[in-house]
């Protein structure tokens, strides 16, 4: 029997200047403090990380970034390193979001390098995977997700896995208002856990948290979170307002 603590993370994408970020985080903090059954993380844009870090310090709300480079420092104009994120107080980093894969050319190989760089600094990755609509309709969904998981986690020692979070985010559900049904999501989460058991071992796989992401909202969160292999949510649009985000961390109330 495993007891995976669900994790709900807000991916703010390229939204919120510092004053707006402060308002948002102050708006959700009281609900986070009262919440005892899930871990809550916010991932602001780089420019608001310090502002949010100052506010969440000493609270139960975790801080994450949305991306990073795999080197600690160097001539990489425009990039931010894991060392810098650690320095600012980040705990998590989202890696391989579908927007990074499709709009910024990230590959399983670069994603794998980023994961290894995070472990070096005791930062915890949220590794994203998920198929496009075309891949689902042509029944290649399992093959695509398996490639992303095996590629992203290549040569990662099993000791690192308990601190790794996977986010299954079907691309066709991100920002579209179209959510995977609880059955579709559960089916893929169970498949991912099977791959993890094959790559590592069953007990390691049983302890890894797998979030669902893709148009999660107050209307669908309870049913999704009730699935046995769904351990939280990665949330985009609904993480940008306290009124929309708070119900997502209260899915058991
Ligand atoms: C995301 O960007 O990771 C996401 C799931 O977005 P949304 O909740 O808006 O679909």
Domain assignment present for 1: no
CB atoms within 10 A of CB 89: 15
Q: In this predicted structure, what is the pLDDT of residue 227?
A: 97
Only one residue has tokens 């600012």, namely 88
Average pLDDT score over residue span 79-92: 98
Domain assignment present for 167: yes
Owning domain of residue 185:
7-249
CA-CA distance, 12 to 244, in Å (whole number)? Answer: 13
Ligand 1 neighbours, Cβ below 6 Å, are 11, 169, 174-175, 213-216, 234-238
pTM beyond 0.75, yes or no: yes
Average pLDDT score over residue span 165-175: 97
From 216, 232, 240, 245, the mutation candidate for ligand 1 (largest count of ligand atoms within 8 A of CB) is: 216
pLDDT band per the 50, 70, 90 thresholds, residue 3 = confident
Q: In this predicted structure, what is the pLDDT of residue 100?
A: 98
Q: Which of 39, 99, 106, 169 is catalytic?
A: 169
Number of domains within the chain: 1
Domain assignment present for 100: yes
For the chain, give the percent of residues with pLDDT over 90. 96
Q: What pLDDT digit, counting tens, does each position of 25-63 carry?
A: 999 999 999 998 899 999 999 999 999 999 999 999 999
From 95, 100, 169, 218, the mutation candidate for ligand 1 (largest count of ligand atoms within 8 A of CB) is: 169
Helix (H), strand (E), coil (C) string for the chain: CCCCCCEEEEECCCCCCHHHHHHHHHHHHHHHHHCCCCEEEEECCHHHHHHHHHHHCCCCEEEEECCCCCCCCCCCCCCCCHHHHHHHCCCEEEECCHHHHHHCCCCHHHHHHHHHHHHHCCCEEEEEECCCHHHHHCCCHHHHHHHHHHHHCCCCCHHHHHHCEEEECCHHHCCCCCCCCHHHHHHHHHHHHHHHHHHCCHHHHHHCEEEEECCCCCCCHHHHHCCCCCCEEEECHHHCCHHHHHHHHCCCC
Burial 49-58 (b: 16+ CB within 10 A, else e): bebbbebbee
Domain assignment present for 92: yes
Q: What pLDDT digit, counting tens, does each position of 105-116 carry?
A: 999 999 999 999
Q: In this predicted structure, what is the pLDDT of residue 252?
A: 85
Domain assignment present for 93: yes
Residue 143: active-site member: no
Q: Is the pLDDT of residue 1 over 60?
A: no
For atom 6 of ligand 1, the residue with the nearest CA is 236
Average pLDDT score over residue span 79-89: 98
CA-CA distance, 228 to 109, in Å (whole number)? Answer: 30
Domain assignment present for 2: no
Q: How far is the CA of 58 from the centre of ligand 1 (A)?
A: 27
For atom 8 of ligand 1, the residue with the nearest CA is 236
Residue 69: active-site member: no
What CATH number is associated with residue 32? 3.20.20.70
């Amino acid at each position: 029997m495993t007891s995976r603590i669900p994790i709900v993370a807000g991916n703010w994408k390229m939204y919120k200047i510092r004053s707006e970020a402060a308002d948002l985080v102050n708006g959700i903090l009281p609900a986070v403090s009262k919440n005892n059954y899930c871990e809550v993380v916010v991932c602001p844009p780089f420019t608001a990380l310090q502002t949010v870090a100052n506010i969440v310090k000493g609270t139960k709300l975790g801080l994450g970034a949305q991306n990073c480079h795999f080197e600690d420092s160097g001539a990489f104009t425009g990039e931010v390193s894991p060392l810098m994120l650690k320095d600012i107080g980040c705990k998590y980093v989202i890696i391989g979001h579908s927007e990074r894969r499709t709009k910024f050319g990230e590959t399983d190989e670069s994603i794998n390098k980023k994961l290894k760089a995070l472990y070096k600094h005791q930062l915890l990755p949220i590794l994203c995977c998920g198929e496009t609509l075309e891949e689902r309709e042509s029944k290649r969904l399992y093959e695509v997700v398996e490639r992303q998981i095996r590629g992203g986690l290549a040569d990662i020692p099993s000791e690192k896995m308990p601190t790794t979070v996977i986010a299954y985010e079907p691309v066709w559900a991100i920002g579209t208002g179209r959510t995977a049904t609880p059955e579709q999501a559960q089916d893929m989460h169970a498949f991912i856990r099977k791959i993890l058991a094959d790559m590592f071992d069953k007990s390691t796989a049983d302890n890894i948290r797998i979030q669902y992401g893709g148009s999660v909202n107050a209307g669908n969160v309870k049913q999704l979170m009730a699935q046995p292999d769904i351990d939280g949510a990665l949330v985009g649009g609904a993480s940008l307002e306290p009124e929309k985000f708070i119900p997502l961390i209260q899915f058991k109330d």
